[in-house]
Structure 1
Amino acid sequence: MRVIVPFDGRDPKTRLSALFDYGDRNEFARAMLQDVVSVVQDTGRDPLILSSTPLEIGDCPVSVDERSLSRAVNERLQAASSAVAVVMADLPLITDAALERLCTREGDVVLARGVGGGTNALVSRTSDFEVDYHGNSYLAHRSTAREIGAAVAEIDSYRLATDVDEPDDLAELLLHGEGHATQWLRDQGFRLASGAGRTTVRRTDVTHEPSQ
């Protein structure tokens, strides 16, 4: 199965600007992309990075498309002759098992919702389905699939629901991640910080940390 991984390298993860400068945001975004691509390749599927800018991620093919996310993805869904998955590039907690659940779930359209109403991953087995990633895309995609008479299935997965956009999301990555993005955060001095409420993160001065 072809797995499209959209990636915006022009100004990624702007909501992390309070913690990262532009260069750091680019590095972190690419580390998360690497985590997603690695899982796609580990499960024996066919990844394609759909990027707004040229980039290289190992041996993964890249198609540069400067159009909006929805238009770029829809062109490839409509041209496909078999099932296609779309998995967002900011899902660093994704695992082989989570991707398998998505890709093997029966249904004309399979949706994996994200926290806050987004669509973090999907599978389309019909060329009549179109995506629209504006606003609450999860509800919009469910409605669109039903309008075209497609059988809709849904995946409830913590690993697929956890996208990293806000500073608070970094705690989930340090708690449960094991990939490139998690290691990048640790190398940058980020550690878990426990308080009276939700676990958060803090940044230490890595130059003063003892060697391991």
Structure 2
Amino acid sequence: MRAVVPFDADRPKTRLADVLDERERSTLARAMLADVLAAVRAAGGEPTVLSTAPVDVDAPVRVDDRALTPAVNDALADAGPDRPVAVVMADLGLATGDALADLFDADGEVVIAPGRGGGTNALAVGHPEFRVDYHGLSYRDHRRIAEAAGASVSVVDSQRLSTDIDEPADLVELLLHADGRATAWLRDAGFELAVEDGRADVVRSR
């Protein structure tokens, strides 16, 4: 399956500014992107990075500096109706080939992997009229759009695909549940888990 992986190369992971400086956020974002590309390939996918600016990665890059919704919709339109295409966000630091294979192989002309808080972290689209809308509660909106287009819809409930790394607290998930480049970078940068009152947190030792 072809897979589009949107990536913000200009201002990545701004909500991590309390714990990472700009260079570190960029490095972590690129490490997660590499992990996601590896997971897409492990699931049998063919990834293309949809980036806001040129980026040096081991995959084809399509540069589009517009907002996420029109950029992804043009990519979907250009993909054509002959084969399905997936949209997988670049900050799914827990994604694995098995998790994405469940998405790619699920029944339905539109398969949705919801994110926490009502977002959409990944899609597999096999209906030519379906288009995305990432504003607001996009999971709900994508179900509505699919149903209006007459597309069958299914949902993949996956912890690995529902977890995007946006906030400092999300770094706990990377250290607990992942072992890719992003997790290795965090450890090399001095981040480690700390447990207090039964809750895990991330601290930086250096």
Could you say whether these structures have the same fold, taking a TM-score greater than 0.5 normalized by the shorter chain as the test? yes
> What is the correspondence of 1:49-198 to structure 2 with a 5 Å cutoff?
49-58=49-58, 60-79=59-78, 80-81=80-81, 82-198=83-199
The two structures have a TM-score, normalised by structure 1, of: 0.94
CA distance in 1: counterparts of 2:160 and 2:95, whole angstroms? 5
Question: 2:25 — aligned with what?
Answer: 25
Q: What is the percent sequence identity of the aligned residues? A: 52
CA distance in 2: counterparts of 1:13 and 1:3, whole angstroms? 22
What do you get for the CA RMSD once the two structures are aligned? Answer: 0.9
The two structures have a TM-score, normalised by structure 2, of: 0.97
Kept in 1: contact 2:112–2:154 (CA 8 A): yes
Q: Secondary structure at the match of 2:54?
A: coil
CA distance in 2: counterparts of 1:32 and 1:22, whole angstroms? 15
Kept in 1: contact 2:114–2:139 (CA 8 A): yes
Q: Secondary structure at the match of 1:132?
A: coil
Q: Secondary structure at the match of 2:69?
A: helix
CA distance in 1: counterparts of 2:138 and 2:186, whole angstroms? 29
Instruction: State how many pairs are aligned.
Output: 204
Q: Secondary structure at the match of 1:150?
A: coil
Name the aligned partner's letter for residue 136 of structure 1: L
Partner deviation per Cα, 1:112-133 (whole Å, 9 max, x = no partner): 0011111000011112111011
CA distance in 2: counterparts of 1:140 and 1:28, whole angstroms? 30
Question: 1:210 — aligned with what?
Answer: none
Q: Where do 5+ consecutive residues of structure 1 fail to align?
A: 206-212
Q: Secondary structure at the match of 1:133?
A: coil
CA distance in 2: counterparts of 1:117 and 1:44, whole angstroms? 27
CA distance in 2: counterparts of 1:137 and 1:185, whole angstroms? 30
Name the aligned partner's letter for residue 18 of structure 1: D
CA distance in 1: counterparts of 2:150 and 2:103, whole angstroms? 20
- Runs of 4+ aligned residues of structure 1 deviating over 4 Å after TM superposition are none
Shift, 1:197, TM fit: 4.2
CA distance in 2: counterparts of 1:148 and 1:57, whole angstroms? 35
Between structure 1 and structure 2, the one with the greater Rg is 1
> What is the correspondence of 1:2-41 to structure 2 with a 5 Å cutoff?
2-41=2-41
Shift, 1:92, TM fit: 1.2
Kept in 1: contact 2:41–2:97 (CA 8 A): no
Q: Where do 5+ consecutive residues of structure 2 fail to align?
A: none
Q: Secondary structure at the match of 1:171?
A: helix
Shift, 1:22, TM fit: 0.6
Shift, 1:170, TM fit: 0.5
Name the aligned partner's letter for residue 97 of structure 1: D
